Structure 1
Amino acid sequence: MNLPKTPQEAHASLAAAFNTKNLQTVLSMYDTEGIMFPEPEKPVSGLQGWTDAVSGILAIPGTMQIKTVYCAQSGNIAVGRSEWSITDGNEIKVAAKGIEVMKQQADGGWKIIIDHAFGAEGFLTAK
C-alpha cells in the first residue's frame, strides 16, 4: 500500500489499510519507533508492541471508518484529530476519538508515529 502523500490523507489511508485485514499492510502505515495507545492509558512501543496491538485490532470483526476532525501541519510533522469506529453490519464494535502525530518520510510519504486511539475522549482528564 502506498503511503499518503499529505498528512490530510493519513486517516483515510489508515482505514483502507485496516480494512485489508493484512498485518504488514497496516504496519507499513506506521513508524513503529513511535508509540501507540491501543487502549486508554496503555501505551505500547517497539515493533513487537505495535504488532501485538495491531493484531488485536485486526481481530475485531467489521469495517473501520476514520473521519478527520482536523489536521495541522508544520514542516514535516503534523497532528490530526480523528473520530473512528469499527462496525460489523449495524453493530458498532468500537468507536473513539483519537489523536495522531504524523511524520513525513524521506520519500515524501507520511507515516503515523504516535497513535493515541482514545486521546480525545472526555474521560481522559488532568490529574
Structure 2
Amino acid sequence: MAATGPNLIEEFAKYFNSGDLDGLVSLYEGGAAFIPEPGTVLTDAAGLRAALQAFLDTKGTASIVSTTETVNGDLALTHSHWRIDIPGGGVLEHTSAEVTRRQADGTWRYVIDNPFGGAVLG
C-alpha cells in the first residue's frame, strides 16, 4: 500500500512490525538518502535493503510517540519520535528527521530518512 500523505512513519511502523522488507523499501524513492547510524549515509538500493534488514533483525516492535509535518508544495519535512522495543529488554528511541516527496501518482516517498535526527550532531 502506498502512502497517501507526507508523513510516512505510520506506514513504516506497519511494515516494520510485520517484518515486511519489501514494504519498507517501497516507501523510498530510488536514490533516497538513508542514515542507518550517525555518520553513515546510504543512497544505493542494496545498502538501503541491508540497513533496513538489520533493523528488522532486532525483532523489535515499533511504536510512534509523536509526529509533525511541514509541507511546501510536493516536499515535506517530517519529524517523528519513535521507539523500538526489542525482545529481552532493549530499546531504541529517537526523534527522526525526514524529507518526503509527492510522486506523480499522488503518493509520497522518502527522499531523505534520518531516523536519528539531531543525534547525528554528536
Same fold (TM over 0.5): yes
Is the Cα contact below 8 Å between 2:62 and 2:85 reproduced in 1?
yes
Which of 34, 37, 42 is the aligned partner of 1:36? 34
Partners of 1:88 and 1:99 in 2: CA distance: 22
Which of 69, 72, 75 is the aligned partner of 2:70? 72
Residue 60 of structure 1 corresponds to 58
Residue 124 of structure 1 corresponds to 121
Mapping 1:98-117, distance limit 5 Å: 98-117=96-115
Residue 14 of structure 1 corresponds to 12
The AA in structure 2 aligned to 1:6 is: G
The AA in structure 1 aligned to 2:121 is: L
Partners of 2:65 and 2:98 in 1: CA distance: 12
Runs of 4+ in 1 over 6 A off after TM superposition: none
Query: Residue by residue, what CA displacement relative to the aligned partner does 1:22-77 show, whole Å, maximum 9, x if unpaired?
Result: 21111011113111001011111110110111111111122111344310001110
Q: Secondary structure at the match of 1:102?
A: strand
Q: Secondary structure at the match of 1:6?
A: coil
The AA in structure 1 aligned to 2:36 is: P
Q: Which runs of 5+ in 2 are unaligned?
A: none
Is the Cα contact below 8 Å between 1:32 and 1:50 reproduced in 2?
no
Residue 5 of structure 1 corresponds to 4
Partners of 2:88 and 2:56 in 1: CA distance: 18
Q: Which runs of 5+ in 1 are unaligned?
A: none
Question: Kindly tell me: are residues 67 and 107 of structure 1, through their superposed partners in 2, closer, same or farther at Cα, counting changes over 3 Å?
Answer: farther
Q: TM-score, normalised by structure 1?
A: 0.86
What is the Cα deviation at residue 89 of structure 1? 5.8
Could you tell me the percent identity over the aligned residues?
A: 27
Figure out how many residues of one structure are paired with residues of the other and give that number. 122
Q: TM-score, normalised by structure 2?
A: 0.90
